[in-house]
Structure 1
């Protein structure tokens, strides 16, 4: 091929399409999301998208699935506090990423469709292990370090809820000390590891 630009294929093309889908939904929202807009942003043919995804939403959910980080707790299950703090830090990193912006656009859509939100949870969050701190808590529960009855859905959401509240109330990203306070004062006592 002449002219300098080579044709993208395989994983490189999929990454470009995923990036375009996340940027497009973050900018235009779910209601105005189209295959045409994603294809234009990805600089590829619309037919390339339809070969793999059935709809713009299907494409966005696939992009979010691949962009969603999975917390990897310490193998030795002896660093619960550190692993919880690391999971909240990972949450913050994700929140300011293109995937976080796309998720925010879906969740904050004025005409929020319950089916879209349900698909986001089942096809992305649940499929990738659930909440950030939930992954850590389940790991420690499964290794006998936390009593199983204490790892409830509510407890698994506490860290994320506290970080969200901080962001809304203060308009700033929590510091390392504030993340540690969330872990020490809220999550650890909830799972029987308080001071």
Structure 2
């Protein structure tokens, strides 16, 4: 699914675009994807439904277009010059993302809906999962080039390993991270990813 680019009279003003984006985030985080509707988004944004339908023909396209743009932009691809620095920055960004007032509610809901809706799962992976992982992969490819990680390391497993602890702690267990949590996690991951050389 590729978002349509409005042309001519269908081009929305930046202020309208911001209002619609905010309305989608508010409605989704409050109501869940199942109860999200274009009518409710239009009402909250203070625009006519036609402003939405000119851009997206369905709720799914609207929701995924808005959320993917924000979620992919939030994916960290730091270049601090070291694996430790990049890893700590990546974990910090993940923490901010998973504790964001909207994303902390939207992400679990998206995961649950995707388990029931194979088309939504496919679109979510294509528009959010794959692009975010590609950004993350770059960070670890640089570390391999610097000799900080083994060249034969499985980057797919690395990407899972880096994201999983924070997601599990915050979203599944619902436990807050205390002071020093990210530094401790960075140390643990460094020992794992560098083959105990870190």
TM-score (norm 2): 0.78
Determine if the alignment matches structure 1 residue 186 to structure 2 residue 189.
yes
SS in 1 for 2:133: coil
Alignment correspondent of 1:65: 68
Alignment pair present for 1:45 and 2:59:
no
The correspondence for 2:32, drawn from 29, 32, 49, is: 29
Q: Structure 1 residues 100, 66: closer, same or farther in 2, change over 3 A?
A: farther
In the aligned structure 2, how far is the partner of 1:56 from the partner of 1:123?
15
**Structure with the larger helix share:** 2
TM-score (norm 1): 0.79
Unaligned runs of 5+ in 2: 1-11
Corresponding residue for 2:141? Answer: 138
Q: SS in structure 2 opposite 1:123?
A: helix
- Structure 1 portions without partners, runs of 5+: 1-8
Query: How far is 1:35 from its partner?
Result: 0.8
Q: Is the 8 A contact 2:140 2:155 kept in 1?
A: no
Aligned-pair Cα RMSD in Å: 2.6
How many residue pairs get aligned? The number is 183
User: Contact 2:68–2:127 at 8 Å: present in 1 too?
Assistant: yes
Match of 1:162 among 156, 161, 165: 165
